Amino acid sequence: PRSGYCIATKTFHSLCPGVTLPCESLPLSVASFAISLLPIPLPTNPAFIDSDSGSSLTYPEFLSQVRALASSLLSHLRLSPGDAAVILSPARLEIPVLYFALLSIGAVPCPSNPLSTRSELSRQVHLIRPKIAFAISAAAPNLPDSLLTVFIDSPRFQSLLHSPNSPLPPLPEVRQSDTSAILYSSGTTGRVKGVVLTHRNFIALLAVFHSRMLERETPAVGLFTIPLFHVFGFFMLLRTAALGQTAVLMERFDFSAMMRAVEKYRVNYMPVSPPLLVAMLKSDEASRRDLSSLESLACGGAPLGREVSERFRARFPAIQIVQGYGLTESTGGVTSPEETDILGSVGRISPNIEARIVSLDSGEALPPGHRGELWLRGPTVMKGYIGDDEATSSMLTSEGWLKTGDLCYFNEDGFLFIVDRLKELIKYKAYQVPPAELEHILHSHPEIADAAVIPYPDEEAGEIPMAFIVRRPGSTLTSIAVMDFVVKQVAPYKKIRRVEFIDAIPKSAAGKILRRELVQRAGFSPKS
């Protein structure tokens, strides 16, 4: 059926045929796999461009730097397969080279937010027990003194990239089941978790993208404003290289610089988070720039309101928004866009992935049209969390299902809709209220620039929905007006019962609302 639902197994799957993966027993690193997908002769477009300086790496330069660095990592720095390496850096041209060099020798990149605090880093170091760190000098002081640190912005590191063509020592054998990278979850619902991903996980995802690569006359140019230490950015670098495309990197996010870069480099697509779409909608500059090269925006990481999509489509009819959904634990995206994109959906499930919607009450797998927790199974599901067997076994079932913690449903056509995170549902009496649903409604108010909803403790109801509102400049909107606006559009138990005005909604680098900060601001102690 068109829903891709199989009654016998109670699972949802892609309508496209499965994608063949390399034989699992073949020794293969994701770096070698990505490079093997590159066309011969090598693409003539740049592989990576630094948007500020305009400097770039061609494909031959990129591959030669990867080889030189891999060789130095083995012979000078004495890294061995399985050795973990902390990476602390904004997006620079050295980063894709470093990722590929580490991956190709079986060492394990563990990139972290360069703004991480000393205590966050010391916890991560305790968990992953790294051999070495690669950091820009500004970020290095927060690393433990005992950790051998190589400065990415030093002449020494540059010399490792350009070492004369000494013969490459034989690369160690890397099994696909080996750990490739440890990537941190965003820490939206608690402390960040170190997600252990294998070479196989990334190979499986790359193979799917490669299989659906459309023949273009010129390879696509992507502009990356997303952090490269997050799974989305990490994977997008691998994908760029495997498909022979061009990625423009931005060291610091700046809206105006981003618009200029789209124009200058004739950018075709950008991976974005929902707040960036909102920023584009609000911007006058977007009308002044030549954005005619921009074909699509790949949006993910947080819920995107229908209202925002609709307004975006009306203002930028030539730019397609392609929503994607995924978790660090699933190596990123598990859905694929289809020609018939449905507003509000994240697409259909990708080839090679099975999905279930599991009832919160009975634990039964549910057919299309029913809400429940999304479970995923397939070759991109993580090995586990580093140093936390308890969290691993509560997230992964013995049959290999990953419990996403997201409340979702499939419609009759097999399109997946994300309602909200289970952990963030507001429990009003016996009802559950998804804050994202209320936020989408609030976003549609012309005087509201941004909004977030949290549970507020209430003696009688347990919790009530409370809204934080950012008014548009000049607006005198009142709390009563906000509550009245919502009340007309929702069932009575969902109505907003408390409002506070705020200057900005706190959000993470990936565009997720930091509800814990709002809970603190609201002045009661959060439930654990």
DSSP-assigned letter for residue 340: S
Binding ligand ATP (rule: CB under 6 A), the pick from 103, 262, 346, 496 is 346
CA distances from 168 to 33, 104, 348, 432, 495 (A): 18, 12, 43, 59, 65
CA distances from 173 to 28, 72, 104 (A): 8, 17, 9
Q: How far apart are CA 228 and CA 235, in angstroms?
A: 8
192 binds ligand ATP (CB under 6 A): yes
Instruction: Compare residues 66 and 127 and give the one whose CB is closer to ligand ATP.
Output: 127
182 binds ligand ATP (CB under 6 A): no
512 binds, among ligand ATP, Mg ion, none (CB under 5 to 8 A by kind): ligand ATP
Taking CB atoms, the residue at the shortest distance from Mg ion is: 185
Binding ligand ATP (rule: CB under 6 A), the pick from 200, 383, 421, 440 is 421
CA 498 to chain centre: 32
CA 386 to chain centre: 19
323 binds, among ligand ATP, Mg ion, none (CB under 5 to 8 A by kind): ligand ATP
192 binds, among ligand ATP, Mg ion, none (CB under 5 to 8 A by kind): ligand ATP
Binding part of the chain for ligand ATP, among 13-21, 131-139, 294-302, 358-366 by CB under 6 A, reads 294-302
Instruction: Compare residues 163 and 508 and give the one whose CB is closer to Mg ion.
Output: 508
Binding part of the chain for ligand ATP, among 87-95, 109-117, 214-222, 319-327 by CB under 6 A, reads 319-327
Tokens 């936020």 appear where?
439
CA distances from 71 to 36, 162, 270, 307 (A): 19, 11, 33, 51
Instruction: Compare residues 188 and 201 and give the one whose CB is closer to ligand ATP.
Output: 188
Instruction: Enumerate residues 479-518 that contact ligand ATP by CB under 6 A.
Output: 510, 512
Binding part of the chain for ligand ATP, among 276-284, 325-333, 352-360, 519-527 by CB under 6 A, reads 325-333
51 binds ligand ATP (CB under 6 A): no
440 binds ligand ATP (CB under 6 A): no
186 binds ligand ATP (CB under 6 A): yes
Phi, psi angles (nearest 5°) of residue 98:
-65, -45
Q: How far apart are CA 509 and CA 494, in angstroms?
A: 29
404 binds ligand ATP (CB under 6 A): yes
Token representation of residue 367 = 């057919």
Q: What minimum distance in Å lies between the beta carbon of 327 and Mg ion?
A: 5
201 binds ligand ATP (CB under 6 A): no
Instruction: Compare residues 72 and 188 and give the one whose CB is closer to ligand ATP.
Output: 188
300 binds ligand ATP (CB under 6 A): yes
325 binds ligand ATP (CB under 6 A): yes
Instruction: Enumerate residues 156-195 that contact Mg ion by CB under 5 A.
Output: 185
Number of residues located near ligand ATP, criterion CB under 6 A:
24
CA distances from 245 to 40, 59, 217 (A): 14, 10, 12
82 binds, among ligand ATP, Mg ion, none (CB under 5 to 8 A by kind): none
The closest alpha carbon to 411, from 350, 346, 463, belongs to 346
Q: What minimum distance in Å lies between the beta carbon of 104 and ligand ATP?
A: 26
Interstrand relation of 372-377 and 354-358 (parallel, antiparallel or unpaired): antiparallel
Binding part of the chain for ligand ATP, among 10-18, 109-117, 173-181, 323-331 by CB under 6 A, reads 323-331
Q: In DSSP terms, which residues pair with 109 in a beta bridge?
A: 85
302 binds ligand ATP (CB under 6 A): yes
442 binds, among Mg ion, ligand ATP, none (CB under 5 to 8 A by kind): none
The CA-based angle 142-195-72, given to 5 degrees, is: 60
CA distances from 332 to 40, 183, 232, 265, 275 (A): 28, 11, 6, 27, 19
Q: What minimum distance in Å lies between the beta carbon of 293 and ligand ATP?
A: 25
The CA-based angle 269-273-279, given to 5 degrees, is: 90
Instruction: Compare residues 65 and 345 and give the one whose CB is closer to ligand ATP.
Output: 345
Contact 261, 223 (CB under 8 A): yes
Q: What is the largest CA-CA distance in the chain?
A: 74
CA distances from 223 to 54, 92, 288 (A): 13, 13, 19
443 binds ligand ATP (CB under 6 A): no
Q: How far apart are CA 474 and CA 137, in angstroms?
A: 43
322 binds ligand ATP (CB under 6 A): no
445 binds, among Mg ion, ligand ATP, none (CB under 5 to 8 A by kind): none
DSSP-assigned letter for residue 187: -
Phi, psi angles (nearest 5°) of residue 313:
-60, -40
188 binds ligand ATP (CB under 6 A): yes
273 binds ligand ATP (CB under 6 A): no
Q: How far apart are CA 148 and CA 150, in angstroms?
A: 7
Number of residues located near Mg ion, criterion CB under 5 A:
1
320 binds ligand ATP (CB under 6 A): no
Binding part of the chain for ligand ATP, among 91-99, 139-147, 180-188, 440-448 by CB under 6 A, reads 180-188
63 three-class SS:
helix
Binding ligand ATP (rule: CB under 6 A), the pick from 193, 200, 377, 471 is 193
Contact positions vs ligand ATP (CB under 6 A): 185-190, 192-193, 300-303, 323, 325, 327-328, 346, 404-406, 418, 421, 510, 512
Contact positions vs Mg ion (CB under 5 A): 185
